[in-house]
Amino acid sequence: MASFLGLFIVPGIAQSVLLTVIPLEALRLLGTARAVTLLYVAAGLAAVIGRLSIPLLVQLIQRRLVFSLGASLLAISAALLAIRSPMGFGFGLALSSFAFACIEVTSNLYLLDHIPRHALRHFEPVRIFACAGPWTLGPWFGVYLQQRIFFAAPFAVAAIAAIALLVLVWWLRLTEHVPPNRKPPNPMRYLPRFFSQPRLRLAWCLAGARSAWWNTFYVYTPIFAVTSGLTAEMGGAIASIGTSWIFLVPLWGWIGRRYGLRRLLAVGYAVAGMTTAATAAAFDFPWVGAVMLVLAGFGAEIIDGAGNLLFLRAVHPYERSEMTTVFVSYRDVAQLGAPAVSAVLLSLFALPSVFAAAGIMMIASAMLTRHIPRRL
C-alpha cells in the first residue's frame, strides 16, 4: 500500500515545488498579472485538448506506457521552464499540464482497479494525508530554493521527482484490468454519457469549483504578495500555510463519515468562499489579506477531506476508463476557465476582483451541495 501511495506522493513533490515558482517567474518574464493570466489560459486550453486524447492512448498502448510518457514529459517540461525564455516557458507550462494529466488519469485507473469500492471512503483521506508533506512545504520551498540556492533548483527537484516516478511505476508492475478486445472509447459517446448522469455531473461541478479555487490561490497568492509589498518568499509561505491544513484531512474524513459529506462540503465551500471574498475587501492591508488567504485555505482543505469520493462512489465499474477521463478533465477546465475569467476581470478591474470572483464561486458551490444524496 505504501508503494502504491507513491504514485500520488511523488507527483505531488514535482507539482508542489513549482506551484508558486511558476507564476512568479511568469510575472518576471511577462510583466503584468493579466499577461500571466493569458499564459495560463493558453496552457489550460492545451491541457484540455491533450487530456481528451488520453483514453485513446490507454487503448493503443499499455497504461504503464501512458504513465511513463507523462513522467518523461514532466522531466522535459521542467527543463523548458528553467531556460528563462518566454516561448520556452509557455511551451513548458503546457507540456507539464499534459504530463500531469497522463499521470493523474492512469493513477486513478490503477486506484479503481486495486482498491475495493467499499474501501475507497477510507483510502481517499489516507491518500490525501500522505501527500500532505509535499503540498505543505512545496510552495514555500520552491521559492526558497530559487531565491537562496540557485535559479534552476526547484526545476531540478521536479525533474528528479519525475525520474523517480518513472522508476517506481515500472518497479511496481501493477496489473491492468482491461476487458479483452475492447474498442477505443468514442469521445462523442462518453462525454454525453457522463453528463447525463446527475451524480457524476454534480461531482464534476463541485470538483471543478474546488480546483478553480486552488488554481486561483496558487497563481495569485504570490502575485498578491509581491505587488502589495510583501516578499516572494512570503508569498510562498502564505501558500504553504494555507495548504498546511491538509494535515486535518483524517479529521474531515471522520466527520464526513459521521455526519455526512453533504454537511462537510457545505461548510468547507462556505468558509472558503467567505474568507476569499474578504481577501478582496482587505486588499489594501497586506497582512490582513494574508490571514484571510490562510483561513480560506482552511475551508478549501475541508473540501479536500472528501477527495473525489463523490465521483468514486458514483461511477460504474464497467465504464471506469471513459468516466475517469471525463471526470479528471475538471482540472483542465478549471485551469482554462479560472484564468479566462480572471483575464476578463483584470482587463476591467484591479487584482482584488479575482479573489472576489473566486469567493462568489465557492459560495455558489456551497449552495449546490444540497443536491448531494443524504446517504453520503
Sorted by where each starts, the structural domains of the chain and their CATH numbers stand as: 2-173+187-371 (1.20.1250.20)
Give the DSSP per-residue string, 173-184.
Answer: T------TTPPP
Tracing cell 518523461 back to the chain, one arrives at 72
- CA distances to 93, 98, 197, 233 from 316, in Å: 34, 26, 11, 45
Radius of gyration of the chain (CA): 19
CB 63 within 8 A of CB 37: no
Structure letter (DSSP) for residue 328: T
Rounded CA separation 89/191 (Å): 32
Rounded to whole angstroms, the Cα distance separating 299 from 305 reads: 10
Q: Are 82 and 152 in contact (CB under 8 A)?
A: yes
Greatest alpha-carbon pair distance for the chain in Å reads: 62
Number of H helices, E strands in the chain: 19, 0
- Cβ–Cβ under 8 Å, residues 112 and 312: yes
Q: CA 147 to CA 27: how far, in whole Å?
A: 15
What are the mean pLDDT values of the chain's consecutive 10-residue runs (376 residues total)?
Answer: 76 91 92 90 80 78 87 94 89 89 83 69 71 88 93 94 91 66 57 85 92 93 90 93 86 78 90 95 90 95 78 75 76 84 92 95 93 74
Alpha helices (H) in 285-370, listed in sequence order? 286-304, 309-314, 320-327, 329-348, 352-368
Q: Structure pTM?
A: 0.84
- Among 353, 340, 334, smallest CA distance to 38 is for 340
**pLDDT at 180 (0 to 100):** 47
pLDDT the model gives residue 332: 75
User: What is the pLDDT, as a whole number, of residue 307?
Assistant: 65
SS3 349: coil
Using the Cα atoms of residue 193, residue 197, residue 200 and residue 201 in order, give the sign of their dihedral. positive
Q: How far apart are CA 128 and CA 8, in angstroms?
A: 9
Cell 469500492 locates to: 117
Whole-angstrom distance, CA of residue 10 vs CA of residue 229: 34
